[in-house]
Structure 1
Amino acid sequence: MVTRRIKAGGEFISTPNAVKAADNMRDGLAKAFYSRIFDRMVSRVNASLRIAGDVGEEGGRGRFFIGILDIFGFEVFDSNSLEQLCINFTNEKLQATFNQIIFQAAMEENAEEGVVVEVADLSDIDNSETLELIEGNPSGVFALLNEECVVPKGSDASLLDKMFANLLGNKRLKRPLRNRTAFSINHYAATVTYTSVGLLEKNKDPVSEDLLVLMRSSGEIAVSELFAEKGDTLLLDRKKGARFQGLVAKFQRQLHDLLSVLDSSRTHFIRCIKPNLEMKPRCYDSLYVRSRLRAAGSLTALRFM
């Protein structure tokens, strides 16, 4: 962690790391351990619960299963960064899935029963503009972030400049008046201001190839197995010279896999609404609850049912 090796021709040159770079590599390795241990635990739990003979493709999830998706809440803090952007983007994607499933099911049921329902205005709950702003190619927020991580002299400031130059036409993006290092996104649940400081560093993978090779050659069998699991393509992508794949790219792939499972399943939704913002017992804020039900599309869905 205190040194890094750079290949120059046919030789490797070792150079000392700066303190900040070493700290980032340490944190990155800790996160890599946590991620792999968590995935291993989930895999073993699923394997133990699988019905004998019910095996999916390549030994994965069986054809028949009951899954529970506990959606983490929408996050708005005093300071919001890449973590909150990814979490809130997930909520946007799941909200779009909810809208599609609920309204499609309601319209099909009404058609079967011959119930005529007035055409509802869904513009208030349509979050397609927000999704396009964040995940659009080639100039969505995530695409620009990945691009800025590989361009020479890319920085958080230049990323912010490119965002406003390319995306201000999307009415969901706003430029804060008093904060020149931030940008605001009008999500379906609330408007959130994100800081651009540190976005590039967080998106880059701090786990060096040297550390990955070291973990794979560890004398501890548990460690070497964790970093040599089938399907871990991180090192392979690097060796193949694939284009840069940062944290958000991995996050998008995982989210895509999750949504594919939801699309192929029969889904049921349970909406949980906090009664107040103060987290107080026996306190019901009707205005707040109504605004959350409206933002979640629940009130519009009721008009179809």
Structure 2
Amino acid sequence: MQAVDVGENDVWSLLAAALHLGDMQFDGDDGSSSVADGTRSSLAAASAQLGIKPDELESRITTRFISVGGKAEDLEIPVPPEGAGQARDALAKAIYSRLLLWLVRTLNEAMSSGGRQAAAAEHKGGRLRSFFTRQPSSSHSITSTSERRSVGLLDVFGFESLQTNSLEQLLINYANEKLHSLFLTHVFHGVPQATLEQVLGEGGATSRLDNTECVALIESPPHGILHLLDHQCRAPQGSDLGFCVAANKCHADHRFFLSPKLSRSCDVESKSGFIVRHFAGDVLYRAGAFLESNSDSLQSTHWLADASTVAVVRHLCSAPELSSSSSTKRNGASFGSVGQRFSADLAELIQTLSAGETHFIRCMKPNLQQAPALFHADYVRSRLRAAGSLTALR
């Protein structure tokens, strides 16, 4: 792919296009839709920034195009106002995501070893030359790990157990499980088994210093919790209740999984939730918004790359490396899994942390009420014990 100059005005134009898209509203019935008269100025503004005709942009948002095998042209199906709103949001998200990924890549290359001089040399008149495919001979490339030095600071959400827990809390706690596994490996690697058993008692090292089974419960295919969720998202009649039923059925005998009906302190039915026994405590996850939160509606930008008269838009919308997630198609619709993208990003993060010299700072909530000047010693002690900090000190 050829190089393209991206300037500050181009960035503002793309951001403006995404904002104008968000202002568009739709009229119509259950069978079709069109841009509301009161927001056609937003349609015109977004079209101008993207370098396409307003009629084509409106058609792409209010019509679903489905490829049919053996036919040269796609099948066009009108969508109702609700569907048009979803397509509008997906397109705005795709434009913003590709722009953000380009900015991150460009900044990382500019700050990398050997990249500062190259970036300065290529910065002409407020424009930064970006190559969307790495060239082996480019001065931006890093040829060895010894040439790249950095200090990273990772601040993560703490363990969460709210009154109502859904996908957001599951992903936060999943990240904490993965980082806790890294902590255990880093701190206790090389410690003789006999020493651990002397401190923790026989069997204690296995039960308290190894959470790999809990991590696998969440992420491992084909029956990990995140994979079961994806299956329900792709199913024609998928539902949150179906997801919870599948999780309880698949993991009924798992030692880090608990059905609500088996918990004395829980009055939720098995089909309405499930409990994961995290290292920091048991958490009840309830049905309600799992499928909606996990479904990242994807809008293809290839048509925009073909139709736009703006070079920057064509390049940003056609570069495969600027796609924020992979997608699968079912019945002509694209589905992007938030959970799987999170899992992939988390795996990359763990790989980066494992390659460096890692230090840990444990921050503990002094109380559950999030109140100032209130210290609950028993609660803090239980958190330190669950995190393995007391064992590490011993």
Common fold by TM > 0.5: yes
- Specify the code of the residue in structure 2 equivalent to 1:194: Y
Q: How does 1:141-152 map to 2 (within 5 A)?
A: 141-152=225-236
> Share of identical aligned residues, percent?
36
CA contact (8 A) 1:125 1:296 kept: no
SS of equivalent to 1:4: strand
**Higher normalized strand content (fraction of residues):** 2
**Higher mean C-alpha displacement, 79-88 vs 175-184:** 175-184
The separation in 2 between residues aligned to 1:215 and 1:282, in whole angstroms, is: 57
Could you say what the CA RMSD is over the residues aligned between the two structures, in angstroms? 3.5
Structure 1 residues 160 and 282 mapped into 2: Cα distance closer, same or farther (>3 Å)?
closer
CA contact (8 A) 1:216 1:225 kept: no
Q: How does 1:73-222 map to 2 (within 5 A)?
A: 73-104=158-189, 107=191, 118=198, 120=200, 121-122=204-205, 123-176=207-260, 177-179=267-269, 180-209=271-300, 211=301, 213-214=303-304, 217-219=307-309
CA contact (8 A) 1:55 1:62 kept: no
- The structure with the larger Rg is 2
**Higher mean C-alpha displacement, 214-223 vs 91-100:** 214-223
Q: How does 1:1-305 map to 2 (within 5 A)?
A: 1-9=61-69, 10=71, 11-52=73-114, 57=142, 63-104=148-189, 107=191, 118=198, 120=200, 121-122=204-205, 123-176=207-260, 177-179=267-269, 180-209=271-300, 211=301, 213-214=303-304, 217-219=307-309, 223-232=313-322, 246-303=337-394
**Higher mean C-alpha displacement, 10-19 vs 288-297:** 10-19
Structure 1 residues 98 and 224 mapped into 2: Cα distance closer, same or farther (>3 Å)?
farther
Structure 1 residues 291 and 39 mapped into 2: Cα distance closer, same or farther (>3 Å)?
farther
- Specify the code of the residue in structure 1 equivalent to 2:222: P
Unaligned ranges ≥5, structure 1: 109-114
Deviation at 1:126, TM superposition (A): 2.7
CA contact (8 A) 1:93 1:131 kept: yes
TM-score, with length taken from structure 1 = 0.80
CA contact (8 A) 1:125 1:188 kept: no
SS of equivalent to 1:205: strand
The separation in 2 between residues aligned to 1:173 and 1:19, in whole angstroms, is: 41
Deviation at 1:218, TM superposition (A): 4.3
User: Could you say which residue in structure 1 is the equivalent of 2:34?
Assistant: none
Structure 1 residues 84 and 225 mapped into 2: Cα distance closer, same or farther (>3 Å)?
farther
Instruction: Show CA shifts across 1:200-242 (max 9, x none).
Output: 3333331233x55336754555555543445235798669x9x
**Higher mean C-alpha displacement, 156-165 vs 196-205:** 196-205
Deviation at 1:267, TM superposition (A): 0.6
| Larger relative contact order (Cα-Cα within 8 Å, sequence gap ≥ 6) | 1
Deviation at 1:153, TM superposition (A): 2.9
User: Could you say which residue in structure 1 is the equivalent of 2:26?
Assistant: none
Deviation at 1:166, TM superposition (A): 1.1
Structure 1 residues 163 and 117 mapped into 2: Cα distance closer, same or farther (>3 Å)?
closer
The separation in 2 between residues aligned to 1:234 and 1:70, in whole angstroms, is: 22
SS of equivalent to 1:8: coil
